[in-house]
Chain A
Amino acid sequence: MRSGLTLVLIVGLVPFVLGVGGGGGGGGSSGPSAEELALQNAIASREAGFGCQNQSSMAERILCRLGFPVTGQLDYQPEECRAKVLQGKLDCYDFYESVQPCWLNETDGERLACARTAIGFSASIPTERARCETLNTANKVLCKQKLRANVDKLVKFRLYQLSQKALYFHQEGAPQNQIVAFIQYIEETKQSYSAAGTKQAKIDLIRQVQTKWREFVEQIKDSLPEETE
């Protein structure tokens, strides 16, 4: 009877003891802070479901995900997010996750409208800017910053859309190496766009993509079925 009671006490105490022990690990001053640990855990949790993470080069990762079906969910790590850390990485995942369902729409226009909503636009950009102008000085600055950040996301979505079209051309028979090279170019451009500090620098990058897109289409057109042209 007494040994039974002791066993019950031990079994009951184990979770409590383990719980106390687990909570004491984050208190060290030399390691990452509790906030950083929480972010790292959140990032690890998001990345657990991603495919194509073992490839060392960007081209290899793009090649790996060429055959992924459109599911409306983020099932790979976007290259742009790969280059970011902590909260920036989580924000990046949030953006890419939010626009994934948009690929399930059939036309460019529907996809763009979907992305505008996902990003947070509730009106046209001139209208939203006019709204910012009605605010007091401090809020006006914040409002314009938010609007420009959202426009940057929309621009990146348009670049992303070109990658998706390239995937479509791949399905239609365009050469794999040209598809991978173009998607890699778009991925690198998105990172350059994030680093661009001025409106003009951003517009210059977009102009370069336009030129590259025209070249790309000329390269692959002959490999597409007749009705696609």
Chain B
Amino acid sequence: MTRLIMAGALALLFLSGCIQYQSTQGTLETPISTAVPSNNPPVGIQNPSITEESPAPQPPLAEPADDEFNDGLEDAIQDLEDAYS
């Protein structure tokens, strides 16, 4: 009876060993390309096109040419005349 139990235990041990071996083989058969990160750059190297800051364009403060010396206040007087007429 004892021998029978011992044989059973050995058989179970053998079977579990076989299953473990098979699962190890399966892992090795996994294609290498899927195990390696694809397009991410290595740590520490940054994409310069993303990190470089281009200076924001500064809008002009006033009209550059023709009427920069014009006060435009005749129109203001006309607006007042129109509103109070």
Contacts and interface: CB of A to CB of B under 8 A. Distances in A.
Number of chain A interface residues as a range: 35 or more
Contacts, number: 79
Number of chain B interface residues as a range: 20 to 34
Interface residues of chain B: helix, strand, loop or mixed (majority): loop
A203 B85 CA distance: 14
A203 B80 contact: yes
Contacts of A107: 63
B71 A168 contact: no
A199 B84 CA distance: 7
Given A213-B71, A217-B69, A154 B76 contact: yes
A162 interface: yes
Interface string B50-85: 000000001111111001111111011101111111
B68 A69 contact: no
Contacts of B64: 106
A155 B72 contact: no
B52 to A, nearest CB: 21
B72 A129 contact: no
Contacts of A89: none
Given A165-B62, A209-B73, 9 more contacts: A70-B61, A104-B59, A124-B82, A151-B80, A158-B76, A161-B72, A168-B68, A203-B77, A207-B77
Interface of A: 69-70, 103-104, 106-108, 112, 124-126, 129, 144, 147-148, 151, 154-155, 158, 161-162, 164-165, 167-168, 171, 199, 202-203, 206-207, 209-210, 213-214, 217, 228
